[in-house]
Every structure is written in structure tokens, then in C-alpha cells.
């Protein structure tokens, strides 16, 4: 019996209209009624999860969320941080310089200023829109080295991003956990930060072994948690490399894939 389900947001839990379908909400509630812990695990900040956590009733002192791709694991009600691994301002400057050298756009998340970018692009605007947060134009080079950061991102057209990914300097690749969360988002995290470690932190807090964990995702940033889980499930709309590591492939996010997976493996 699976006792914890880690669920990615965009492309997984949410359909193309950024909504949770009635069938999916019903399946999640039925799993909760059976005592299964539901954990939303996303590259979004916690602000971008709140409305969905409230919609699903995942807002009690017993609920946890993994956000910023595992940089933070947080008690949803109390705000207690049970795990935190972030990057430094010096790291963000490195990514900014790398982005300039590769002729792609960049933004980052500051613990004080929120979403910051040297120059706003349509994908930074998309990030702000999705998460209902403001954009602050900040030259990364002006940040003090002790300025508290969270993560950095390279954001651009998918073709440009793919080329930039392939041409990242070896020193950068070795220094960060690098995950692609969308065709236009490439994320640079603390090397000890990923969704797998985030879900593991919740499971250990609750005394749940990895074999009793099920995780569902659609993109490269979900790989660590799919590999950690006793059962890793990819969406039909997932990246090919995500499907390749999954134990099972469910329907797409527009076909209630999360609901179908819960019905098959939990509600039996």
C-alpha cells in the first residue's frame, strides 16, 4: 500500500488550463480518506501553490509542500522549513555571466526581493504570471555576496535553451543540480537540492519508507523523485527521457492522468 504520493504541478496535476479537474480532485480526496499523504512537489515558489493547496484541502499542520524544486520543504500551515538547500549570490552571478555568454535570458529568486532579472523577457513575465508574483529588474552583479538567494534560471525559446544547455561550461555543470522544468525553463539549484530529496525529507519525517512512496511527474525536474519512489509514474505528455525512467506511464494531464494513476494503484 502506498502511503505518500508526491505530485508535480505543471503538466501533471494541472491541465492545459492550469486547473485541477473534478475527477482528479475527487481521486485525491479519496486517497486522503484512505490515509494517504499527498505532497505537491513543484519548481514553483510556495506562493504559486497556495490556491491549489487550499483547493485540495492540503493546508493543515499535517501537510507539507516541496517547492522551488526541492530547495525548500515546508509545513504548509506553520511555515516550518524542514529542509533547505539554496544557492549563493555568487552562484547567481555565475549563471548571469553564463547566460550572457550564451546569449540567453536569465532570472533568479531572492529570499528578500523575490523574482529578479537583469532584463525582463516574456518567460520571466510568464514566471511572474503563473505564480502571481512581481518582477524586479536587478543587475545580478550589484548583489552583495551574502544576499540570500534560492535558485537561478536560464529562460528562453526552447531551441535556444536546448543549445545553451548543450554548451554549458563544465565548471557550471559540475557545480549545480541542473534540471529542465519546461521547454523554456532551465534551473540551477544547490547540488543538494532536488525533488527526490524533498519528498524523501517528508517521507522520513512521517516514518514512511521509500517503497511506500508513489511519485508522478512529466519533466526532467521530476526525475529524482521518480527514481526515489517505490513507484515512479510519468504522464503521457511527459518528456521522452522522463517516460524512459518511469515504472508506469499514465494518461496525459488533459486526460486525468493523475486521477487514473491514483484509481489504479491506490483506490483498489
- 173 pLDDT tier (thresholds 50, 70, 90): very high
**Catalytic residue at 254?**
no
**Are the C-beta atoms of 92 and 108 separated by less than 8 Å?**
yes
Share the mean pLDDT of the chain.
97
Q: Round to whole Å and give the CA distance between 127 and 138.
A: 16
Backbone phi, psi, residue 155, to 5°: -135, 130
What pLDDT, on a 0 to 100 scale, did the predictor assign at position 113? Answer: 97
pTM equals 0.93
What pLDDT, on a 0 to 100 scale, did the predictor assign at position 102? Answer: 97
- Strand pairing partners for 63? none
Every domain of the chain and the residues it spans: 4-84+193-265, 89-189
* Residue partners of 106: CB distance under 8 A and separation at least 6: 95, 96, 99, 117, 118, 140, 152, 153, 154, 155
User: In 114-191, where does DSSP find H-type helix?
Assistant: 122-131, 158-166, 170-175
Architecture per CATH, 4-84+193-265? 3-Layer(aba) Sandwich (3.40)
- 137 pLDDT tier (thresholds 50, 70, 90): very high
What pLDDT, on a 0 to 100 scale, did the predictor assign at position 107? Answer: 98
Q: Which of 8, 63, 156, 218 is catalytic?
A: 8
- Strand pairing partners for 108? 116, 152
Is 89-189 the same fold as 4-84+193-265? Answer: no
Three-state SS for 47?
helix
Q: Render pLDDT for 39-92 as a digit per residue (tens, 0 to 9).
A: 999 999 999 999 999 999 999 999 999 999 999 999 999 999 999 999 999 999
Architecture per CATH, 89-189? 2-Layer Sandwich (3.30)
Q: Render pLDDT for 188-217 as a digit per residue (tens, 0 to 9).
A: 999 999 999 999 999 999 999 999 999 999
What pLDDT, on a 0 to 100 scale, did the predictor assign at position 11? Answer: 97
Backbone phi, psi, residue 233, to 5°: -120, 130
- 115 pLDDT tier (thresholds 50, 70, 90): very high
CA-closest candidate to residue 44, choices 58, 29, 65, 59: 65
- pLDDT average, residue stretch 237-248: 98
* CB atoms closer than 10 angstroms to residue 131: 20
H or E element at residue 65: strand 64-67
- pLDDT average, residue stretch 29-33: 98
What pLDDT, on a 0 to 100 scale, did the predictor assign at position 92? Answer: 98
What pLDDT, on a 0 to 100 scale, did the predictor assign at position 190? Answer: 97
- pLDDT average, residue stretch 144-150: 95
Amino acid at each position: 500500500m502506498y502511503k505518500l504520493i508526491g505530485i508535480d504541478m505543471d503538466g501533471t496535476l494541472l491541465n492545459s488550463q492550469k486547473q485541477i479537474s473534478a475527477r482528479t480532485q475527487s481521486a485525491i480526496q479519496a486517497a486522503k480518506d484512505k490515509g494517504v499523504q499527498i505532497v505537491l512537489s513543484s519548481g514553483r515558489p510556495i506562493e504559486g501553490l497556495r490556491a491549489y493547496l487550499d483547493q485540495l484541502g492540503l493546508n493543515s499542520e499535517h501537510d507539507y509542500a516541496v517547492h522551488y524544486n526541492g530547495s525548500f520543504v515546508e509545513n504548509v500551515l506553520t511555515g516550518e522549513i524542514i529542509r533547505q538547500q539554496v544557492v549563493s549570490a555568487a552562484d547567481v552571478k555565475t549563471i548571469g555571466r553564463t547566460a550572457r555568454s550564451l546569449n540567453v535570458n536569465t532570472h533568479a529568486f531572492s529570499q528578500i526581493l523575490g523574482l529578479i532579472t537583469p532584463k525582463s523577457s516574456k518567460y520571466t513575465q510568464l514566471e511572474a504570471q503563473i505564480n502571481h508574483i512581481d518582477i524586479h529588474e536587478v543587475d545580478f552583479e550589484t548583489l552583495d555576496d551574502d544576499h540570500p538567494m534560492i535558485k537561478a534560471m536560464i529562460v528562453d525559446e526552447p531551441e535556444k535553451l536546448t543549445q545553451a544547455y548543450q554548451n554549458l561550461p563544465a565548471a557550471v555543470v559540475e557545480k549545480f543540480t541542473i534540471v529542465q522544468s519546461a521547454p523554456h525553463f532551465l534551473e540551477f539549484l544547490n547540488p543538494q537540492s532536488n525533488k527526490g530529496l524533498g519528498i524523501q525529507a517528508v517521507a522520513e519525517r512521517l516514518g514512511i519508507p521509500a517503497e511506500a512512496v508513489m511519485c508522478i511527474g512529466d519533466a526532467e525536474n521530476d526525475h529524482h523523485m521518480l527514481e526515489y519512489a517505490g513507484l515512479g509514474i510519468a504522464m503521457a505528455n511527459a518528456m521522452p527521457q522522463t517516460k524512459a525512467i518511469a515504472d508506469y506511464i499514465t494518461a496525459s494531464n488533459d486526460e486525468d492522468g493523475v486521477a487514473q494513476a491514483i484509481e489504479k494503484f491506490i483506490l483498489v
